[in-house]
Amino acid sequence: MNRSILAGLIQLVVTAVVAAAVVLIVLIPFALLQPAPLAVLTSFLIGPLDSVRHIGNIAEVATPIALTGLAATVIFRSGLFNLGTEGGFFLGGLAATAAVLLLPLPGFAAPLLAVAIGAAVGSLACIVPGYLRIRHDASEMVTSLVLNYAILFAGIFVLNYVLRDPAAGAMMSYRIPAEARLERLLPGTRLNSGAIIAVVACLAAGVWLFMTRPGLNLRIIGASPGFATHLGLPAGRIVMAAQVAGGLIAGMAGAIEVLGLYPRFSWTQLPGLGWTGIVVAILARENPFLVLPAALFLGYLQVGGNILSQEVGIPTEVVGLITAAIMLTVTASAIFQNPKLLRLIRRFRRAEVQPS
Amino acid sequence: MTSMLELLTDPALFATVLRVMTPLLLAALGVLISDRAGVFNIGMEGMMLSGALSGVLVSAWIGSAWLGLLAAVLLCAAIGALMAIIVNKLGAHLIITGIALNLAASAATTLGLFFATGDKGMSGSLKSGVLPSIRLPVIDQIPVLGTLLSGHHVLTYLALLAVPVVSLLVWRTPFGLHLRAVGVDAKSAAAAGIRVARVQMLALMLSGVFGGLAGAYLSMGYVSWFAQNMTAGRGFIAIAVEVMGAASAWGTLAAAVVIAIAETLAITMQSLGLPNELMQMIPYVVPIVVLTFWASRRRALARIAQLS
C-alpha cells in the first residue's frame, strides 16, 4: 500500500479515535445516572445502525448538514469567518416555500425552480456580510452574527403576514402542494432526492476546489492573502465569489430541507443547522470530499440521540454537548500538531522516499 | 400622532430603556475585556445562558437570590477559565471555541433544566429568587429626577457603575496595561516578561463575571424564570455593541444606549399596531449600519493618512 496515503490516513484515524473517545466520555456519566447504563450505550451506539429505517434516518439528517457544511467549507476556504450560513439556510427554506405558494411554477419543474429560488434568496445572508467586509472592511463575523437574527425576524414577518394559513392554528404557512415536494427515496423515512443533490454537490465542489484553477486560486487566497496579492490574483472578486457560492449552497440546503421534509413552513426560530454545518466543515478539515462522512457521522450521533430520548428518556440535547466537545478536540493543536504525531507522519513519508 | 407623543414622553419609557440596556451593557463590557486581551469572547451568548440558568436553580435551591447571583458569576468565571485553558493549553481555535461554548451551553442548560424540573421549556415550577430594585435615598425625594433616577434594578446601577470601573481598569492599572499589551501583540508582551496565558485567563474570567451578571439579570430581574434559549441572540447583540463602541467602555455605553433606545422604540411602536416582527429587526439592523459606517470611515482615514 502507498505509504503517503497511509501517512494522510493517520490524521483521519486520530480524528476518528478522538471523536469516539469524546462520545464515550460525554455519554458515560449520563448512562451511569440511568438504571441500565449498558442499555443506554447500546441504544445510542448500535441503535442507529440496527435497521434500514434508522440508517435511512441517518442519511436524512445528514443531507442538510452536509450542504451547510459544504457552504461553510467554501466560505472558510476564502479566509473569511462569515457565519451567515445559518441565516442563509433559514432564508432559503422560506423563499422556496414562498415560491411554491405564490408563483405559478410549472408542475414538473416546480421543485427544481423552488430550490433555485431558495438558493438565490438565501445566498443574500452570506453575500451581505461578505460585501460589507470586502467593500467597507466591516467585520464579517459580527455583521453575519446579527444579520442572522435580522433575517429571522424578517422571515417571521413574511410568514405571519404573507404565507400564514389562518386555518392552521399555530403560526405556519399554507400547505406546500404535493407536486412541489421532493421525492421520497426510502419508504418509512423522510430520505428524499435532496440527498442525491448533497452527494453530487460535495463531489463537484471537491473536484472544483482541488482540480481546477479557480479552486487553486481560492485555496491560495485563503491560505496566504499576501502571496495571492503578489501573484496578482483579483482577491476581492475571488473571495466574493466564494461568499456567493457558499450562500447559494446554504440557501439550497434550506430549500431542500423544507421541500423534502415538511408539509408546511413553520420555523419561528433559527433551526441551528447552519451552526451544525460549521461543525461538519471543521470535522472535515474544510475538505469537500470529507464533508459527506463528517455529516453522516453527525447524523449518526443525532439519530442515536433521538433513539435515546425515545427509549431511555435522556433528552436528545446530549448530542449538542458531544458536538461541542468534538469541535474543540478536533481543532486542538495539542492533539493534531503534537510533535509525536508529526514525527510519526514524517517517518512514514521518509520510508517511502528511501525504500529499505 | 398624539398617542405617539404621549408614549415618547412617558417616564416609564426611560425605565424601559434602562431595563433593555442592562444585560447588553454588562455583556458588552465582558466582551470588551476579552477583546482587549486578544481573546475575543464570542461565547458570551453561552455564558449568559449558563448564568441565567444557574442563578434560577441555585436561588430556588437555597432560597437566596444573592447566592443565585453569586453562583451565576462563579460558574461563568469558571467557564471563562476553561475557555482560556482550551485555547491556550489545548490549542483550539479561539472563535470555534466560542461557537462550541454557545452550542454546549444551549444543550447543557436545556439538559440542566430538564433534570431539575422535568420540563425542557421553562422553569415556571421552580420558586426562584428575584434581585431587588433600589430606591436611592436622597434623590428619591426630588420631584422629576427622583422618578427618573431612582427605583431601578440593582444590576442596572451596577452596570452603569461598571463603565468607569472598566475604563479605569483597562487604561489606568498595571493589569490593564498588560491586558492591552497582550491584545496588541502577544509575542512582544511575552518577550517583555508578561505572562500572556495568565493575563488572557484572567481576562476571560472577568468576561465571565460580566456574562454571569448579564445572564442573572435576564432570569432574576428582566423576568423571574428561565426559558430555553432565553438569551435569544442578546450575547451577539452585545458583541455588536462592543464593536460599535470601538472597544472603549464609554463608547460601549453609548452604543448600548443607542441599541436599547432602538429596542424600546420597537417595543413601544408595537402597541401602536406596527408589525411586531419588523420592529424586532431594528436592534439587529442598527449595528450592521453603524459598523459599516465606522469601518468605511476608518478605511477612508487610513487612505488619507497614507497619501499625505
Q: Is B251 a member of any domain?
A: no
Q: What is the pLDDT of residue A249?
A: 96
Sign of CA dihedral B177, B204, A78, A272: negative
Which chain A residues are Cβ-neighbours of B197 within 8 angstroms? none
* Per-residue pLDDT at A160 exceeds 60: yes
Q: What are phi and psi of A93, to 5 degrees?
A: -65, -40
Q: Which three cell numbers stand for residue A185?
A: 427515496
Q: What is the pLDDT of residue A225?
A: 87
Of B100, B277, B295, the CB nearest to A328: B100
CA dihedral A144, A147, A148, A154 (to 10 degrees): -160
> Is A136 in contact with B295 (Cβ distance < 8 A)?
yes
A226-235: Cβ within 8 A, 24+ apart:
none
What single letter denotes the amino acid at residue A135?
R
pLDDT band at A2 (very low <50, low <70, confident <90, very high): low
Q: What is the pLDDT of residue A108?
A: 76
Q: Is B241 a member of any domain?
A: no
Q: Does B110 touch chain A (CB under 8 A)?
A: yes
Top pLDDT among A191 and A117 is at: A117
Q: Are B95 and B39 in contact (CB under 8 A)?
A: no
Q: Which of B89, B99, B242 to mutate to test the interface with A (most CBs of A within 10 A)?
A: B99
Measured CA to CA, the distance from residue A83 to residue A86 in angstroms comes to 7
DSSP per-residue codes, A272-335: SHHHHHHHHHHHTTT-HHHHHHHHHHHHHHHHHHHHHHHHT---TTHHHHHHHHHHHHHH-HHH
Q: Which three cell numbers stand for residue B171?
A: 487604561
Q: What is the pLDDT of residue B9?
A: 63
Q: Is B305 a member of any domain?
A: no
Radius of gyration, alpha carbons of chain B: 20
Crossing angle of helices A124-136/A140-158, nearest 10°? Answer: 150
Cβ atoms < 10 Å from Cβ of B124: 12
Q: What is the pLDDT of residue B265?
A: 82
Q: What is the pLDDT of residue B1?
A: 46
Q: What angle do CA A324, A130, A142 make, to 5 degrees?
A: 50
Q: CA of A338, closest CA in chain B: separation in Å?
A: 10
Top pLDDT among A131 and B139 is at: A131
pLDDT band at A201 (very low <50, low <70, confident <90, very high): very high
* Per-residue pLDDT at A311 exceeds 90: no
* Per-residue pLDDT at A354 exceeds 70: no
Q: Please list, residue by residue across A309-347, b when 16 or more beta carbons sit within 10 angstroms of its beta carbon and e when fewer do.
A: eeebebbbbbbbbbbbbbbbbbbbeebbeeeeeeeebee
Measured CA to CA, the distance from residue A131 to residue B206 in angstroms comes to 34
Of A81, A137, A325, the CB nearest to B296: A137
* Per-residue pLDDT at A353 exceeds 70: no
Measured CA to CA, the distance from residue B217 to residue B59 in angstroms comes to 13
Measured CA to CA, the distance from residue A94 to residue A291 in angstroms comes to 25
Of A81, A139, A282, the CB nearest to B291: A139
User: How buried is A102 (Cβ within 10 angstroms: 0-12 exposed, 13-18 middle, 19+ buried)?
Assistant: exposed
Q: What is the pLDDT along chain B (308 residues), one digit of tens a residue?
A: 456 566 566 777 888 889 999 999 999 999 999 999 999 999 999 999 999 999 999 998 888 889 999 999 999 999 999 999 999 988 888 989 999 999 999 999 999 998 888 887 787 777 777 888 877 777 777 776 677 777 788 888 999 999 999 999 999 999 999 999 999 998 999 899 899 999 999 999 999 999 999 999 999 888 888 888 888 889 999 998 998 888 899 999 999 999 998 888 887 777 777 777 888 888 889 889 988 988 888 888 888 888 76
Query: How many cross-chain Cβ pairs, A to B, lie less than 8 Å apart?
Result: 145
Which chain B residues are Cβ-neighbours of A269 within 8 angstroms? 229
Residue carrying the nine cell digits 493575563: B199
User: How buried is A161 (Cβ within 10 angstroms: 0-12 exposed, 13-18 middle, 19+ buried)?
Assistant: exposed
Q: Which residues pair with A184 in a beta bridge?
A: A192
**Residue whose C-alpha is closest to residue B243's, from A133, A270, A123:** A133
Q: What is the pLDDT of residue B7?
A: 58
Q: Does A344 touch chain B (CB under 8 A)?
A: no
Q: Does A150 touch chain B (CB under 8 A)?
A: yes
Q: Is B273 a member of any domain?
A: no
Mean pLDDT for A190-207 is: 90
For residue B292, give the chain A residue with the closest CA. A138
> Is B236 in contact with A328 (Cβ distance < 8 A)?
no
Sign of CA dihedral B296, B298, B303, B308: positive
> Is B233 in contact with A146 (Cβ distance < 8 A)?
yes
Q: Are A294 and A284 in contact (CB under 8 A)?
A: yes
Q: What is the pLDDT of residue B4?
A: 59
Average pLDDT, chain A: 87
Measured CA to CA, the distance from residue A277 to residue B158 in angstroms comes to 39
Q: CA of A265, closest CA in chain B: separation in Å?
A: 17
Domain range spanning residue B189? 2-231
Q: Is B202 a member of any domain?
A: yes
Which chain B residues are Cβ-neighbours of A86 within 8 angstroms? none
* Per-residue pLDDT at A315 exceeds 90: no
Q: CA of A79, closest CA in chain B: separation in Å?
A: 13
Q: Which three cell numbers stand for residue B4?
A: 405617539
Q: Does B298 touch chain A (CB under 8 A)?
A: yes
> Is B91 in contact with A334 (Cβ distance < 8 A)?
yes
CB neighbours of A266 closer than 8 A, spacing ≥ 6?
Answer: A170, A171, A172, A173
> Is B103 in contact with A150 (Cβ distance < 8 A)?
no
**Residue whose C-alpha is closest to residue A221's, from A31, A63, A77:** A77
Q: Are A124 and A154 in contact (CB under 8 A)?
A: no
Summarised one tens digit per residue, pLDDT across range A219-277 is 999 988 889 889 888 888 999 999 999 999 999 999 999 998 888 888 988 888 999 99
pLDDT band at A129 (very low <50, low <70, confident <90, very high): very high
Top pLDDT among A97 and B136 is at: A97
Q: Which of B34, B234, B281 to mutate to test the interface with A (most CBs of A within 10 A)?
A: B281
Q: CA of B298, closest CA in chain A: separation in Å?
A: 9
Domains in chain B: how many in total?
1
Q: Are B253 and B242 in contact (CB under 8 A)?
A: no
Residue carrying the nine cell digits 479515535: A17
Radius of gyration, alpha carbons of chain A: 22
Q: Which of A15, A331, A333 to mutate to test the interface with B (most CBs of B within 10 A)?
A: A331
Measured CA to CA, the distance from residue B29 to residue B213 in angstroms comes to 11
Q: Is B64 a member of any domain?
A: yes
Indicate the helix (H) or strand (E) that contains A10. Answer: helix A3-33
Q: What is the pLDDT of residue A356?
A: 46
Q: Is B97 a member of any domain?
A: yes
Summarised one tens digit per residue, pLDDT across range A30-83 is 888 877 788 888 888 888 888 888 888 899 999 999 999 999 999 999 999 999
> Is B86 in contact with A332 (Cβ distance < 8 A)?
yes
Q: Is B288 a member of any domain?
A: no
Measured CA to CA, the distance from residue A247 to residue A78 in angstroms comes to 13
Q: Which of residues 258-287 of A touch B (CB under 8 A)?
A: 269, 275, 278-279, 282
Measured CA to CA, the distance from residue A130 to residue B234 in angstroms comes to 23
